[in-house]
A and B are shown apart, each in its own frame.
Chain A
Amino acid sequence: MKFRLILACALVFGISGLANASSKDIKNAQDSFRKNQFNSALMPLIPVISDYSKVDAGTGILAGSVLVRNAELHRELSKLSISATVDYLKKLTKTKKGKEPSVFATLFYGEALLSQGDYKSAKKYFNQFLKKKVPEEYKEVARVKLGVVDWKLKQQNSAKAAWKKLGNSKSLLVRSELARVNAEFLGDDKQAKKVVDEIASEIKGQNNVSSRVLTNMISVYNEIKDYKSGMQVLAQHDIGSISYREDSKSGKFINFYDVNLLGDIAELYRGVASGLLETAGKDNRYKAIADLQQIDLDIIFGHSKNAAKTVRSMLSDQGLPAPIKKQVSIREGITAKGPKIWEKTVSDNSQDAMIVSKTLSTCVQASASCKTTNKRLEKIAENLKGTNAVMVNSSIGRYYLAEKKYSKAINFLEAARNKSLKNKIEANDPVLLVGLSDAYRHDNKYSESLEIYFEMSKEFPGVRQIQEAVQGVYAMEQRSAGDVKIF
């Protein structure tokens, strides 16, 4: 809470003096950000922030904050999407009697397994896909993916040979896939950029570009740190678009999406946010705020060493204002292995629910051991009300979510939820809603999950892929008699 106050002051200060975005854009961005509409907040800033080295500190801090939240949210969405997609496609690939098999499910399931790091299973499904009667360009996509599996399994020569064979492909899909592997594995940034820049020109002004192409382009731009071009892809195309629609003669159709998309977007946001914060931090008035944001960003993305380095550096700064120092100390646990420092922070601040709450949520984000911290907070939670209770319950809920104790997570996250506007992001932190939806999904309460995604997808089009996957699982899992009653 205190940190948000500090941040808010900095933002107001920033736009009053230095902003180089138009005041209307800044105001729109601030209004949207206040309503948790992170995507709407970002859009008016894109033209200004794309070249973040030239952004003034005030705009940099505002845009950086918007992007940190966007990055955090999309990282959570990405994890959820991979998990939901694997659940869905696992069921879809198991053909039962009376069921028309899906041809493309094997390709997309293989990709989802690859994202999860299950390379051997992924290989199995790519090979199954190659035996099917499908357009050649999709076979080529599967071959690129098989190369990725080989690379991951340390068979790099085999991977390179597979990719080389496909080098002359004219297919947009295959070219984008090859550009991705060029940048990600072969380090041929120049060639990768050349290809995706060409693709960007080819698809300019086109609607319904396959999300496979879009995510590959974003991934390449991330790898080569050309975030400006990456942001252009987002600004110019519908990221909720499908990757492939399988339409059978019997009237059945299945939409497939790219499971990497949300993660690639999260990484793009992280990259831009980091650059913006670095630029803003060059102005001494914003340095502390920018560094603090950078610590959070590093923790969210698992860059613990970077986070720890910044924490140590800030704590050794004698001139650091006390409120900021307090905020940094909350994150001090990241500097050591094990739970000791997290627990000490809690012990030193046991009367301050907000500090304990933030310590727990940071501890959870850092994937540390947070059992004792959580215990302490649960005791505090018993006597809290109002806004404090929302933050505390949210932290505890996310702890149980990380522990995969879904019913408990639901209890606490529900306690933190605004009941009147239960699915509205304007009234609830979107990350809380994502956590709650995930807990409900695991607890087989799919309709509660889907309601959340339905509202979220209005602001975040990439959520569409999660909606479709959860709908698919729900359609197979539901067991009921077909009842309907008048209210």
Chain B
Amino acid sequence: MNRKYLSTLTGVAVAAVIATSGIANAADDNSLRYGEFGRPATLDPVTSNDMISLRVTELLFNGLVGINEKQQIIPELASKWSSDSEGKEYTFELRKDVKWHPKPGKEPELFTADDVVYTFNMMMHPKTITPLKVRYEFIEKVEKVDDNTVKFVLKRPILNALAKFTFKIIPEHGPKNPVFLTREDPFVQSPIGTGPYMLKEVNSDREVILAANPDYFRGKPQISEFVAKPFADQNIMNQALTFNAIDMIVLVNPRHLPELQGDKRFVLQPYNALSYSFFGYNVRHPHLQDKRVRKALTMAIDREKMLKSFFNDQGTLISGPFAPGSWAYNLDVKPEKFNPDEAVALLKEAGFTQGAGGIMTKNGQPLKLTLKVPIAKESESIKRVVLAFKGYLKRVGADINVEFQEWLAWKDDVFQKHNFDVVFASWVFDDSADISSLFHSAEVGAWKNNFGGYENRKVDSLIAESKLTLDHEKRRSIYRKLHAVLADEAPYTFLWTLTNYSAYHKKMRKVAIHPYKFFSFADQWFIAKDVAMTDQN
């Protein structure tokens, strides 16, 4: 099938999708349809651990405080706050005019201190499935002072404590289970919050439709509806944007950037600089327990060539657990050089000998590993990366079996069952550069982020030390050490940070994008009425 024909066919397919869904015509002029590559697993802020969910929850919920574009702490559900001189007690006065989104057929309930106490206690409950616990272990307790006042008592003063109170508050009357929250609770699919948008429905196409909250405490948002449209194919998502079937793509596939850059209808905006891709190892596998094996796998692959060949060099190689845009990146640690001979030497040093078919073997066990890749993130580039990984490792005697899995099944295998040897994935960070949930030994367990089961005392103690210090420069020094240690330990093969751009139609105005949460300022966005939709150049 030639490319032109394929392109026409894709165009027809997109047009057909648009026509049958009726979105293009039926959509309110004042609604914003945005494309996501995949769909959210849950819609609540506690159990979710992926970016697609995070973006939806940003529209649905609020924290006690927020952070504005200038990195200043601003009031959200709390109107005022104070702390004691030691920085161990934080008291928040809550707004009295905040209502929860109404449950079907019911009047909206008022937000109170009980909801704050409930959220914290539920979040920290041992049976609640959430990656948030590690982040809030510094809080000893929360107390209701009165209906509109809460007090948090900390175990110790910490750096930037106030910023931690950006966690989203959920209603006491929301979840079915009043004590803890799991992914089985209906609330995680039908949440109610206090945010600028309310969940209207998740339709049969798995589109998440959010309607403007008329009672939003900062005033009804300008855009009447947000529709998150899931796409399984990035080409079709891009076509949908150019055909005006959607107004925004949250993350543009780098290969589509030149086309969109040349189209004057769209604005391209960078964000998510603090992200990176990696191959993560399950150190429960007897062979992968040995850091020499993990380092050998890292040295066996030519990351520079992969980045150039598969991503047209649209990114930056990294050497450790932070992105180059992070304040914590250790500039002295350079990415491990591609050196297959050294990789083989390391495997031999670790006790491997070449067995049948050239596969390295130790104690009768061949170096055969299963690599799991989420299919929702499947793209031509990713396929090439994992196949190259397989090819490179074959040359040093490691046999990689690649399995593509549906996104939710992949998450289940990786985060819950730990049924994998190697994964290909990417992390996105807010700018705290907090890697404790990824590498601290206390974070090994079901639905926790240290899914590889990596444990190292030195790493644990550096993480603990970083949390105890109140000195920014000391914390920076500790993180640089952490970077060096983890680069040497290679619990992951750290790969690269890619170019991340969002694209949106220029009819959208006052668009400020939060570099991590994306929709934090979306209640201020609006859609201009007089902008041509077809003027491409």
The verdict on A9 contacting chain B, using a C-beta distance below 8 Å, is no
Q: Once the chains are docked, how many angstroms separate the CA of A475 from the CA of B431?
A: 9
Contact at A451–B425, with CB atoms within 8 Å?
no
A454 CA / B72 CA spacing, docked (Å):
26
Contact B54 A485 (CB under 8 A): yes
Indicate if the CB atoms of B427 and A486 lie closer than 8 Å. Answer: yes
Q: Does A33 contact B (CB under 8 A)?
A: no
Given A475-B328, A487-B426: A419 and B474 within 8 A (CB)?
no
Asked if A99 CB lies within 8 Å of chain B CBs, one says: yes
Asked if A484 and B437 make an inter-chain contact with CB atoms under 8 angstroms apart, the answer reads yes
Q: Which of A99, A449, A467, A485 contacts B49 (CB 8 A)?
A: A485
Which A residues are CB-close (under 8 A) to B347? none
B166 contact set on A, CB distance < 8 A: 480-481
Interface-central residue, B70, B326, B473, by most chain A CB under 10 Å: B473
Q: Verify if B478 is at the interface (C-beta below 8 Å from A).
A: yes
Instruction: Given A254-B473, A451-B316, A472-B327, verify A478-B254 contact (CB < 8 Å).
Output: no
Interface pair A251/B164, CB less than 8 Å apart = no
Is B115 close to A, CB under 8 A? no
Known: A479-B72, A481-B164. A472 touches B476 (CB 8 A): yes
Total A-B residue contacts, Cβ distance less than 8 Å: 195
Contact residues in B for A423 (Cβ distance below 8 Å): 316, 499
Interfacial chain A residues near B430, Cβ < 8 Å: 480-484
A472 to B262, CA, bound (A): 37
Residues of A within 8 A of B329 (CB): 450, 454, 471
Complex contact A447–B472 (CB within 8 A): no
Residues in A with CB closer than 8 Å to B67 are: 479-480
Residue of B nearest to A450 (CB): B325
Asked if B316 and A483 make an inter-chain contact with CB atoms under 8 angstroms apart, the answer reads no
Structural contact, A447 and B164, CB atoms closer than 8 A: no
Check B477–A253 contact: CB distance below 8 A: yes
B148 contacts the other chain (CB 8 A): no
Q: Which residue of A lies closest to B48 (CB)?
A: A485
8 Å CB interface, B345-392 against A: 377
Specify which chain B residues have a CB less than 8 angstroms from the CB of A447 in the assembled complex: 273-274, 323, 325-326, 431, 515
Cα(A479)–Cα(B166), bound, Å: 10
Contact A480 B431 (CB under 8 A): yes
- Contact of B426 with A486 in the complex, beta carbons under 8 Å: yes
Asked whether A483 lies within 8 Å of B429 as measured between CB atoms, the reply is yes
CA distance A418 to B67 in the complex (A): 30
Q: Which residues between 422 and 447 of chain B lie within 8 Å of chain A, taking CB atoms?
A: 425-438
A446 to B: closest C-beta gap in Å: 7
Interface positions of B from 297 to 339, Cβ below 8 Å from A: 312-314, 316, 323-329, 331
Closest chain A CB from B54 CB (angstroms): 6
Contacts of B48 in A (CB 8 A): 485
Complexed CA–CA distance, A386 and B157 (Å): 54
Q: Does A444 count as interface, using CB distance less than 8 angstroms?
A: yes
Say yes or no for A378: interface residue by CB 8 A criterion: no
| A472 and B327 alpha carbons, distance in the complex (Å) | 7
Query: Are the C-beta atoms of B476 and A480 separated by less than 8 Å?
Result: no
| Residue pair A451, B258 in contact (C-beta under 8 Å) | no
Report the Cα distance A253→B471, complex, angstroms.
Answer: 12
Q: Which of B394-431 contact A (CB under 8 A)?
A: 411, 425-431
Flag whether A39 is at the interface (Cβ < 8 A): no
Point out the residues of chain A lying under 8 angstroms from B411, CB to CB.
486
Residues in A whose Cβ lies below 8 Å from that of B232:
none
> Which of A97, A472, A474, A483 is within 8 Å of B473, CB to CB?
A472
Q: With A98-B471, A447-B431, A478-B160 given, is the CB distance from A483 to B516 under 8 Å? A: yes
Q: Is the CB of A420 within 8 A of B314?
A: yes
In the complex, identify which listed stretch (B18-26, B170-178, B199-207, B263-271) lies at the interface while the others stay far away.
B263-271
Task: Output the residue of A100, A252, A420 with the most chain B CB within 10 A.
Answer: A420
Q: Is the CB of A454 within 8 A of B325?
A: yes
- Find B432's partner among A97, A455, A482 (CB 8 Å cutoff): A482
Q: Mark A396-409, 1 if CB is under 8 A from B, else 0.
A: 00000000000000
Q: Which of B166, B260, B449, B499 has the most A CB atoms < 10 Å from its CB?
A: B499
A476 within 8 A of B: yes
Asked whether, in the complex, the Cβ of A478 is within 8 Å of the Cβ of B431, the reply is yes
Set B49, B316, B469: member contacting A455, Cβ < 8 A: B316
Q: How far is the CB of A253 from chain B (nearest CB, A)?
A: 5
- Is B497 engaged at the interface, CB distance under 8 Å to the other chain? yes
A-side contacts of B154, CB under 8 Å: none
Query: Which of B162, B254, B277, B431 contacts A420, CB < 8 Å?
Result: B254
Q: With an 8 A cutoff between CB atoms, is A422 at the interface?
A: yes
Task: Please name all residues of chain B whose beta carbon is closer than 8 Å to the beta carbon of A283 when the two chains form the complex.
Answer: none
| Bound CA–CA A449/B270 (angstroms) | 11
CB neighbours of A482 from chain B (8 A): 135, 164, 430, 432, 434, 436
Q: Tell me whether B427 and A467 are in contact (CB under 8 A).
A: no
B433 nearest in chain A by CB position: A478
Partner of A478, one of B71, B131, B316, B469: B71
Are B435 and A484 in contact (CB-based, < 8 A)?
yes
What residues of chain A lie closer than 8 Å to B377, measured between beta carbons? 487
Q: Nearest Cβ in chain B — how far from A469, in angstroms? A: 11
- Chain A contacts for B260, CB-based, 8 A: 419
Give the residues in chain A near B162, CB-CB below 8 Å.
Answer: 479
Quick check: A251 and B71 within 8 Å, CB to CB? no
Query: With the chains together, A467 CA to B325 CA distance in Å?
Result: 10
Question: Which of A250, A477, A486 contacts B50, CB < 8 Å?
Answer: A486
Quick check: is B167 within 8 A (CB to CB) of the other chain? yes
Report how far A445 CA is from B270 CA in the complex, Å.
Answer: 11
CB of B341 within 8 Å of the partner chain:
no
Q: Of the candidates B54, B434, B473, B478, which one forms a contact with A92 in the assembled complex, judged by CB atoms under 8 Å apart?
A: B473
Q: Any chain A CB within 8 A of the CB of B470? A: yes
Alpha-carbon gap, A320 to B312, bound state (A): 44
Contact across chains for A468 and B324 when beta carbons are under 8 A apart: no
Q: How far apart sit A419 and B516, CA to CA, in the bound complex (Å)?
A: 19
Chain B proximity of A79: nearest CB distance (Å): 22
Q: How far is the CA of A100 from the CA of B470 in the complex (A)?
A: 9
B82 CB-CB contact with A under 8 Å: no
**When the two chains form their complex, are residues A446 and B164 in contact, meaning their CB atoms are under 8 A apart?**
no
A309 to B472, CA, bound (A): 52
A414 at the interface (CB under 8 A from B): yes
Interface residue A175 (Cβ < 8 Å from any Cβ of B): no
Q: Is the CB of A484 within 8 A of B257?
A: no
Is A421 located at the chain interface by the 8 A CB criterion? yes
Q: Which of A432-448 contact B (CB under 8 A)?
A: 443-448
Q: Which of B73, B264, B428 contacts A484 (CB 8 A)?
A: B428
- Interface residues in A71-102 by Cβ distance below 8 A to B read 92, 96-100, 102
B230 CB to closest chain A CB (Å) equals: 15
Contact assessment for A475 and B327 in the assembled complex, using a CB-CB cutoff below 8 Å? yes
Known: A482-B135, A484-B435. A448 touches B264 (CB 8 A): no
A421 touches B313 (CB 8 A): yes
Using Cβ atoms and an 8 Å threshold, which residues of chain B touch A98? 157, 469-471
Give CA–CA (A386, B477) in the complex, Å: 45
Cα–Cα distance between A418 and B312 once the two chains are bound (Å): 13
Q: Taking the complex as formed, is A69 at the interface, i.e. its CB lies under 8 A from any CB of chain B?
A: no
Interface residues of B in 243-266 (CB under 8 A from A): 254, 257-258, 260-262, 264
For the complex, what is the distance from the CA of A459 to the CA of B331, rounded to whole Å? 14
CB-CB under 8 A from A250, the residues of chain B are 474
Task: Enumerate chain A residues within 8 angstroms of B515, measured Cβ to Cβ.
Answer: 445, 447-448
- What would be 6 A-B contacts, judged by CB atoms less than 8 Å apart? A98-B157, A251-B481, A254-B477, A447-B274, A471-B327, A482-B135
| 12 extra A-B contacts, CB within 8 A, seeds A420-B257, A482-B164 | A96-B470, A99-B473, A419-B499, A421-B313, A444-B69, A445-B515, A471-B329, A480-B67, A481-B163, A484-B131, A487-B50, A487-B277
Closest A-B pairs by Cβ, 9 of them? A98-B470, A447-B325, A482-B434, A487-B426, A474-B327, A454-B324, A447-B273, A480-B430, A479-B163
